[in-house]
Structure 1
């Protein structure tokens, strides 16, 4: 039997991947949920999933957590600046444990993008290549939740504010990306694989129009220059560094860094990605 492990399994994406594996018929005893705090997934343990403690910053815990694992999903850490070292710890532990394949949640166009989130992902991809472990790169696009979780803010302000101009973003839900990750883990691939993942593209102007249509509340898109966007964010209370980072993300959207025409997501999951309007309806509900 094949043993699958998912890191960060108590997080919003990792937990969905565990659930997706179980829904696809993987026996709970063949799934290892690697978490920093096992108590957070006690319910998974009760269902028969093997829960093991593993902390990206504690290499010893990772080697024990990955013992006997055949295929691993490395869910990227959530702390920019620390991720390269943390991910390297996981890669080394996987190599030492004899893991046969590692799938990694990277970012769309990681090899060419100017997105400020890319350097950590690119360095991790390079570490995986150097490890010699067969690798599946899951280059995830934007999350729909990045926008829908701000729905209340859009409705209260009557506008979506940004500096992405007419750049298109290929977004999908966490559940979509989790389903793709589970499918990739289950695939009997040989060698290395790269999947550029994203849903149907939309602009921030189309986002505002969709919010208006779904909610019945008029919401417009106010497009700013990068400098104006930074000033706007500073006015909302963000510090200079954070405001600059957020504006740089929009500049990346404007450049098309988070847009893809490839259908890798649909091919992996066997279904269309979640539509923007459906995501807004769910957030409204």
Structure 2
């Protein structure tokens, strides 16, 4: 039995879809906070169990009989390490034979503040005694394309400078997770997962211009100014600061990689940013 945590989320659902291409639905468990939100998975023959990262008792019940577990990192920045510890402890108690964890690209050397909780989780895994594999995911292309309507109207602003971004589509990372989960001998492996072709935000603006036919330019500002712009757009101050820091981290090479581990795992090239732009449009 393979259990996917956060199965109602964007990545989790894509992992489920990819697993269904490889194994029978009866071997998949979807762990979610609110089971009623994934009735469509039940209709596909997938077992759904209630689980909340902040409720250890729910995890203990959800993980019963599970062989492999995909720990999709919590979306609650600042609470991740504690929540992940609950998951790891429950998995150990349940006798799970492998935990696959969605970490961040080059976690141990990353300049991004976001990496801190991932590093803490990787240490928790190492100390737990449970066999594990690290899926160090790079940036999703959707992190940028989800805001393409605003970009087309107001232009592209950021603080990544000429930093290279090795992004890939969320579905690419999901497929890689599914491949790792169904393969044997994965314990101890660390996958640095990133897109095949990197680009700068200036390149990204040019790609939008080419695909949409509307001129888009990139304006680089300071980290503080970019955070201020994000707050003005309605983002909470803390989250805006994290996003701005991530762009600065990109300018330092934190989101760039020449690794081809992702395309190797999925057996095809990663999705080009132009294709993600087309999909968003």
Give the TM-score normalised by the residue count of structure 1.
0.95
Partners of 2:158 and 2:222 in 1: CA distance: 8
Paired with 2:160 and 2:192, the residues of 1 have a C-alpha distance of 21
Q: How far 1:232 moved relative to its partner?
A: 3.5
Q: Please give the residue correspondences for 1:217-256 in structure 2 after superposition, counting only pairs within 5 Å.
A: 217-238=214-235, 240-256=237-253
Q: Which runs of 5+ in 1 are unaligned?
A: none
- Structure 1 CA distance for aligned equivalents of residues 47 and 225 of structure 2: 50
Name whichever structure is richer in strand by fraction: 1
Q: Could you list the runs of 5+ residues in structure 2 that have no partner in the other structure?
A: none
Residues of 2 paired with 1:243 and 1:182: CA distance? 32
Q: Is the 8 A contact 2:135 2:193 kept in 1?
A: yes
The answer to whether the 8 Å contact 2:223/2:248 transfers is: yes
> What's the CA shift string for 1:25-84, capped at 9, x where partnerless?
x11111010111111111111211111111101111111111111111000100011111
2:108 aligns with: 111
Query: Do structure 1's residue 10 and structure 2's residue 22 form an aligned pair?
Result: no
Show structure 1 runs of 4+ deviating over 6 A: none
For 1:152-171, list aligned pairs within 5 A: 152-157=149-154, 159-171=155-167
Cα deviation for residue 241 of structure 1 reads 3.5
C-alpha separation in 2, matches of 1:13 and 1:117? 18
Is 1:195 the equivalent of 2:188? no
Residue 249 of structure 1: CA displacement? 1.3
TM-score normalized by structure 2? 0.96
CA spacing shift, 1:4–1:234, aligned 2, 3 Å:
closer
Residues 239/77 of structure 1: CA separation in 2 closer, same or farther (3 Å cut): closer
Q: CA deviation at 1:237?
A: 4.9
Q: Cα offset for 1:19? A: 1.0
Aligned residues: 280
50 and 230 in structure 1: CA distance in 2 versus 1, 3 angstrom threshold: closer
> SS at the partner of 2:167?
strand
User: Structure 1 pair 94/160, CA: closer, same or farther in 2 (3 Å)?
Assistant: same
Task: Compute the RMSD of aligned alpha carbons.
Answer: 1.3
